């Protein structure tokens, strides 16, 4: 989520970093204990704190945070703004207390899914918030991986949990490689709702004669040439099955393969 | 909502001995000075602080309970002092930020 | 105002630091409120025959109390902080009063005044009572009432191991070390310079 949207949600004052409000953060850390921030904070976070001293800015910087929001109307009186400027951190101050600030950011975060560009497309039972389409060309090893990279980037920008994004990226990448190695072309559809991320890879190609066999670890039909390039260790479909929450594979020899993957957004995968 | 309801619904751990009471509102801070200025009687106090001085601080502003977040271990000294003064110390594995969201969805507002 | 049943509120709230400074020459302790934390921990300066070193910047607040009904106002500028008695010395008058209060279903905190090089600055008993009223007015009726005692009743201040209700260690980049009593003079090191929590926190070497 962009820091600018956090600023709006909190009706916050910008103490430093007006020109960096488009910085995207992935996590929120609410704490006044700087040793915790350093020990447990993750990069690309924003810190919410009532501790308006220079050490909170230094700690945020050391933990690779992108900004600090002071709650309860606190404002630093020392060199914090200058330090923040020198290290490209955004400093905000809100009159809200910590509880209210957390709530508003949480609400804005969820609402953010709705404001992402949406193309109405095959709306499912859940509210469709975002839909994108991509194309993969078979045998195009040069561009192999571009689609999964793009999808990963989109999901990270929205602010999904990095572990979830990683699973989607792995599965999409494997699927993309299978298309490049074995198919003529494919259409990839990404559909995002608050409950799930759906990735559909629908290809035209020779198809998979025995899906069950292909799901076994180690099975591969990669050619020598492909294996020389590092592909085709046979981990494709089993890896996709392992990393997705729901998987549907349909295939017809001589026509093509359809890989439908779903990743649930809340809670544990299984 | 009472402390017991909250403990059940959020699977919080009870660490000290205390009497059940109603909860109204939430105060979030690791700074005792902020809590002294901002907390109200009956609030839930969310913090990662575990030093035994949180007990007299909690007692002073009469919070319904201290909820130690982020799975922090609370020293026995703190728990014993809390039980002595019947101050409820609860604990949650969730981070402060996550717990705020859950409390709000249960209908608990700010102070 | 005569006859008003005062209903106290906090007013003029100001967040800042209670500075604790020790003279390593005479072991004197002084405390004062400062909006900022300068000088930083471990910094020393000389004043007359004393060599003061900042041993703690405790985050705290100061405030006045104002009656919501009649507007009567009392500053609490004499109040350095509140301390929880840990019962470390059965011979201490505070401990005796604490046990007495607890037997009567109340509980006790100790109101501290500031200290300068001449010693402790008393805090008016009337202000402690108003402050206790403030807190008692906002607790559930079923909860034990608070009684505030004065630090002047502590037998030997330099031996007190109570806990102040303030914030220390928030800024430490390392997990905060166990709290040492700020009132107890640290044991002298060879060479006459006393170590303190502050040194460890800042990585200072003591000579």
Contacts of C109 in chain B (CB under 8 A): 56, 60
Does C171 reach chain B within 8 Å, measured CB to CB?
Answer: no
C30 membership: H or E segment, kind and range:
strand C29-34
Give the neighbours of chain C: at least 3 Cβ pairs within 8 Å.
A, B
A96 has pLDDT over 80: yes
The average pLDDT across A157-164 equals 83
Classify residue B111: in a domain, yes or no: no
Q: Are residues B29 and A100, on separate chains, in Cβ contact within 8 Å?
A: no
- So what's the ipTM on this one? 0.94
Parent domain of A248: 130-264
> Which residues contact residue B77 at a Cβ distance below 8 angstroms, ignoring those fewer than 6 apart?
B52
Does C106 reach chain B within 8 Å, measured CB to CB?
Answer: no
Coil, strand or helix: which one is C147? strand
Q: Are residues C166 and B21, on separate chains, in Cβ contact within 8 Å?
A: no
Q: Are residues C173 and A59, on separate chains, in Cβ contact within 8 Å?
A: yes
User: Which residue of chain B is at minimal alpha-carbon distance from C175?
Assistant: B49
**pTM of structure:** 0.71
| SS3 per residue for C91-102 | CCHHHHHHHHHH
Same domain, A22 and A146: no
Classify residue C193: in a domain, yes or no: no
The average pLDDT across A213-225 equals 74
| Average model confidence (pLDDT) across chain A | 85
Parent domain of C142: 8-185
Q: Which pLDDT value is given to residue B40?
A: 95
Q: How far is A211 from chain B (nearest CA, A)?
A: 41
Same domain, A202 and A255: yes
Q: How many CB atoms lie within 10 A of CB A194?
A: 13
Classify residue B22: in a domain, yes or no: yes
Low-confidence ranges of chain C (pLDDT < 50): 192-207
Number of domains in chain A: 2
Does A235 reach chain B within 8 Å, measured CB to CB?
Answer: no
Structure tokens at B89: 């110390």
Tens of pLDDT, residue by residue over B17-58, are: 999 999 999 999 999 999 999 999 999 999 999 999 999 999
Number of domains in chain C: 1
Contacts of B44 in chain A (CB under 8 A): none
Which of A65, A91, A115 corresponds to the end of one domain?
A: A115
Classify residue B21: in a domain, yes or no: yes
Q: How far is C86 from chain A (nearest CA, A)?
A: 25
Strands (E), chain A: 13-16, 27-30, 45-49, 67-70, 90-93, 130-137, 183-192, 196-205, 246-252, 256-264
Classify residue A208: in a domain, yes or no: yes
Contacts of C174 in chain A (CB under 8 A): 35
Q: Which pLDDT value is given to residue A90?
A: 98
Contacts of C170 in chain A (CB under 8 A): 32-34, 51
Of C15, C36, C171, the CB nearest to A34: C171
Same domain, A180 and A67: no
Classify residue B110: in a domain, yes or no: no
Classify residue C141: in a domain, yes or no: yes
Q: Are residues A102 and B27, on separate chains, in Cβ contact within 8 Å?
A: no
> Which residues contact residue A42 at a Cβ distance below 8 angstroms, ignoring those fewer than 6 apart?
A26, A27, A29, A63, A64
User: Which residue of chain A is at minimal alpha-carbon distance from C35?
Assistant: A77
Same domain, A107 and A145: no
User: Which residue of chain A is at minimal alpha-carbon distance from B101?
Assistant: A103
User: Which residue of chain C is at minimal alpha-carbon distance from A77?
Assistant: C36
Residues C45, C21: Cα–Cα separation, whole Å: 10
Q: Are residues A36 and B101, on separate chains, in Cβ contact within 8 Å?
A: no
Contacts of A61 in chain C (CB under 8 A): none
Query: A135: which strand partners?
Result: A187
> Which residues contact residue A182 at a Cβ distance below 8 angstroms, ignoring those fewer than 6 apart?
A138, A205, A206, A221
Does C15 reach chain B within 8 Å, measured CB to CB?
Answer: yes
As to burial, measured by CB atoms within 10 angstroms (0-12 exposed, 13-18 middle, 19+ buried), residue C37 is: buried
Q: The domain that contains A148 carries what CATH number?
A: 3.30.565.10
Classify residue B44: in a domain, yes or no: yes
**Chain C: which residues have CB within 8 Å of chain A?**
15, 35-38, 59, 167, 169-176
User: Which residue of chain A is at minimal alpha-carbon distance from B34?
Assistant: A50
Tens of pLDDT, residue by residue over A53-80, are: 888 999 999 999 999 999 999 999 888 9
Classify residue A124: in a domain, yes or no: no
Closest by CA to A142, choosing from A223, A204, A228, A229, is A229
User: Which residue of chain A is at minimal alpha-carbon distance from B69?
Assistant: A31
Classify residue C84: in a domain, yes or no: yes
Query: How sure is the predictor about A227, in pLDDT bands with cuts at 50, 70 and 90?
Result: low
Q: How far is A197 from chain B (nearest CA, A)?
A: 22
Q: The domain that contains B21 carries what CATH number?
A: 3.40.1390.20
Number of domains in chain B: 1
């Amino acid at each position: 989520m962009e820091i600018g949207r956090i600023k709006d949600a909190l009706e916050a004052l910008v103490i430093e970093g007006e020109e960096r409000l488009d910085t995207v953060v992935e996590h929120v850390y609410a704490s006044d204990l700087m040793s915790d921030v350093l020990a447990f904070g993750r990069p690309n976070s924003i810190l919410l704190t009532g501790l308006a001293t220079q050490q909170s800015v230094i700690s945020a910087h050391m933990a690779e945070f992108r900004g600090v929001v002071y709650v309860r109307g606190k404002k630093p009186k020392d060199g914090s703004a200058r330090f923040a400027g020198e290290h490209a951190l955004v400093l905000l101050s809100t009159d809200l207390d910590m509880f209210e600030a957390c709530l508003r950011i949480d609400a804005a975060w969820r609402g953010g899914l709705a404001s992402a560009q949406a193309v109405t497309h095959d709306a499912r039972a859940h509210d469709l918030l975002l839909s994108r389409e991509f194309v993969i060309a078979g045998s195009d090893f040069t561009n192999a991986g571009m689609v999964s990279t793009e999808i990963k980037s989109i999901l990270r920008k929205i602010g999904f949990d990095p572990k979830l994004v990683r699973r989607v990226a792995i599965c999409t990448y494997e699927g993309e490689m299978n298309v490049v190695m074995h198919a003529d072309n494919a259409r990839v559809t990404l559909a995002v709702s608050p409950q799930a991320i759906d990735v559909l890879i629908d290809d035209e190609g020779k198809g998979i004669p025995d899906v069950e066999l292909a799901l076994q670890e180690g099975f591969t039909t990669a050619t020598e040439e492909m294996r020389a390039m590092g592909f085709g260790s046979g981990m494709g479909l089993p890896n996709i099955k392992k990393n997705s929450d729901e998987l549907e594979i349909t295939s017809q020899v001589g026509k093509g393969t359809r890989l439908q993957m779903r990743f649930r957004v809340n809670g544990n995968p299984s | 909502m009472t402390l017991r309801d909250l403990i059940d619904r959020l699977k919080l751990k009870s660490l000290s001995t205390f009497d059940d009471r109603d909860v109204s509102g939430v105060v979030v801070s690791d700074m005792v000075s902020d809590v002294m200025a901002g907390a109200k009687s009956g609030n839930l106090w969310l913090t990662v602080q575990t030093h035994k001085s949180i007990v007299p601080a909690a007692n002073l502003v009469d919070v319904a309970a201290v909820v130690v977040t982020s799975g922090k271990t609370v020293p026995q000294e703190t728990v014993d002092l809390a039980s002595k003064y019947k101050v409820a110390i609860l604990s949650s594995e969730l981070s402060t930020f996550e717990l705020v969201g859950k409390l709000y969805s249960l209908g608990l507002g700010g102070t | 105002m005569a006859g008003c049943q005062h209903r106290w509120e906090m007013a003029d709230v100001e967040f800042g630091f209670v500075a604790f400074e020790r003279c390593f020459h005479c072991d004197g302790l002084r405390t004062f409120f400062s909006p900022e934390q300068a000088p930083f921990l471990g910094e020393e300066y000389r004043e007359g025959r004393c060599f003061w070193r900042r041993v703690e910047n405790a985050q705290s607040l100061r405030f006045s109390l104002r009656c919501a009904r009649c507007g009567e106002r009392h500053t609490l500028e004499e109040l350095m902080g509140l301390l929880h008695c840990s019962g470390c010395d059965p011979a201490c008058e505070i401990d005796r009063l604490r046990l007495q209060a607890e037997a009567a279903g109340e509980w006790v905190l100790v109101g501290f005044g500031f200290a300068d090089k001449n010693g402790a600055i008393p805090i008016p008993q009337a202000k402690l009572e108003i402050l206790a009223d403030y807190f008692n007015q906002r607790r559930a009726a079923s909860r034990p009432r608070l009684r505030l005692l004065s630090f002047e009743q502590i037998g030997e201040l330099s031996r007190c191991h109570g806990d102040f209700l303030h914030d220390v260690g928030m800024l430490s980049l390392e997990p905060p070390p166990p709290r040492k009593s700020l009132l107890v003079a640290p044991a002298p090191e060879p060479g006459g310079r006393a170590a303190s929590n502050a040194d460890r926190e800042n990585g200072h070497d003591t000579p």
